[in-house]
């Protein structure tokens, strides 16, 4: 499939150059789904990992699991790599490309125990809504890569995106259970990672909505 079908909107590089501490280590942790074989079946996928705050959180909380951070934002991946070196974490792989390309190239289904999507771009303008990552088609695609009783975690501070996801879940109620469907449980838990975008939402006094989806 041509890469034009894997277009990602937004920046792939930052404005300021970030220096890589150890190029050899960076090359070692790059994940290539065509060649890398991970024997474990309880891997965790962090989609849109950005600067890596959630990836670091997941790696610390799950030392015996492999975390795959997926983001085309190169500077964020360098930042994540540098943090991994500083913290001496060795259970993270980085996929520096489009998530749909990663899923299409993976060799097997039932690959992940958890999939995290924290603060995906909401594309609030109506003419840009089709750029949103999360829709019923994408969630169905993720379903195939989840283990039995696997979970998807999603966070957004966009009320319009929240409503859109709710509509998607109504369509997919035969394959996913919305675990925290009681309104008082929708709010982003204090125990969850405090990413850059979470902190920004707090400054702007926006409510952060959280989804916990269980594969049926």
Q: Which two tokens stand for residue 18?
A: 């970030």
Strands (E), the chain: 43-47, 67-70, 92-95, 112-118, 146-156, 176-178, 209-215
Q: Nearest to residue 155, comparing CAs of 194, 190, 201, 120?
A: 120
Q: Nearest to residue 66, comparing CAs of 34, 96, 41, 30?
A: 41
Q: How many helices (H) and strands (E) does the chain have?
A: 7, 7
User: Which residues are marked as active site?
Assistant: 121
Q: What residues contact residue 80 under an 8 Å CB cut-off, 6+ apart?
A: 49, 51, 52, 55, 56, 69, 92, 94
**Contact present, 114 and 150 (Cβ < 8 Å):** yes
């Amino acid at each position: 499939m041509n890469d034009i079908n894997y277009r990602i909107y937004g920046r792939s590089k930052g404005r300021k150059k970030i220096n890589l501490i150890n190029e050899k280590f960076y090359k070692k942790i790059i994940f290539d789904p065509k060649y890398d074989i991970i024997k474990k079946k309880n891997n965790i996928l962090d989609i849109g990992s950005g600067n890596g705050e959630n990836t670091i959180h997941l790696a610390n909380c799950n030392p015996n699991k492999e975390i795959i951070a997926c983001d085309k934002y190169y500077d964020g991946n360098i930042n994540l790599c540098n943090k991994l070196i500083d913290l001496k974490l060795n259970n993270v792989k980085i996929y520096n490309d489009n998530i749909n390309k990663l899923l299409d190239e993976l060799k097997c289904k039932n690959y992940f125990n958890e999939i995290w999507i924290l603060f995906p771009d909401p594309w609030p303008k109506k003419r840009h809504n089709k750029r949103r990552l999360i829709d019923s088609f994408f969630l169905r695609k993720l379903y195939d890569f989840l283990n039995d009783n696997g979970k998807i975690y999603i966070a957004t501070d966009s009320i319009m995106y929240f409503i859109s996801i709710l509509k998607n879940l109504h369509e997919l109620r035969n394959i996913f259970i919305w675990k925290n469907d009681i309104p008082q449980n929708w709010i982003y838990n204090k125990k969850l990672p405090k990413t850059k975008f979470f902190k920004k939402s707090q400054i702007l006094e926006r409510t952060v909505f959280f989804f916990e989806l269980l594969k049926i």
